[in-house]
Structure 1
Amino acid sequence: MSDWKHFIALFLLGSIALSSIALFVGFADYDYHYTYEREVDHFPPRVYPTDYSALQPESQQVVDEALETGRVTRQNGSAIPSVKKSSLPSEGSTETNFGSRLYVNESNLSEIASEGIKRDGRKYLFTASRSFDWTDPRTFGPMLLGLLCGGGVLATIRSSIKDSMVR
């Protein structure tokens, strides 16, 4: 192959590979997990408890199911109970009841968030997390396209090096 054909192949395959990264970031589907950890006497320091009665009915259903089965997975994370970022205490605050949403790390929502639920005088500890749903074509499609085009880029580079060594 001539140098201009290598350049065109590299440009096209590289562009498609980079575009697939953008597609993956923009369209990847997530599964949301809510896992029952254990019953506790006192909540750990960085856990912000929520009263069961303060939760929406959908969130109460998720808590009930997690208590029964140990783990709940949902396609839509809106029913997963956690504490709102805006409700987190400021430094030195002693408040502990913060509503119904907790995201521990603002920059990474896949970070596991510990959550406490108070129900009927008992205290339960849960974790909320999210993961990629690899069964959804919007998740594995761009990833597969990127890997194939990345392989094409490597094959083109190898071919170009091989052609330059032969001459």
Structure 2
Amino acid sequence: MAEYEHHEQPFAPVFDENSKVLILGTFPSVKSRANNFYYGHPQNRFWKVLAALCGELVPQTVEEKKSLVLRHQIAIWDVIESCDIIGSSDSSIKNVVPADIAGLLCKTQIERIYVNGTLAKTLYDRFALPATGIDAVKLPSTSPANARFRLEQLIESWRTIL
């Protein structure tokens, strides 16, 4: 049986002073950590959804992904700074240390916050909402575990970020 491991957030938030929209995930998966960037699992549909919404090709490299979000005034980060987790299982997450989302907001023009999935919403509401005062809109997860949503449905649901 897999054991709990403690992990620190391996990625800095992607943002600049022009960012107006923040998209928050929960915590990077094992595949994302191995691929050194957010939503690095090849079956995660995050980058396909964003590319479709922005009218661009799906970015392949970390630099292309950063460039895509920044060109469209989007910031990305996770709700969790560190936690104990078994593999990539969001349901196993415990001992959460939240990310300083309010601190990030002070450095940007972010007006709207979206969360990628139910757990990200729950954790945002618990840890960040009291400090930010900005309600986050829950979007359906782009994770491969969310087989209920086809890519076209995700794109339609995520259209609200525009």
With the shorter chain as reference, the TM-score category is under 0.3
TM-score when scaled to structure 1? 0.23
Higher relative contact order (Cα pairs below 8 Å, separated by 6+ residues): 1
Rg comparison, structure with higher value: 1
As a proportion of its length, which structure holds more helix? 1
TM-score by length of 2: 0.24
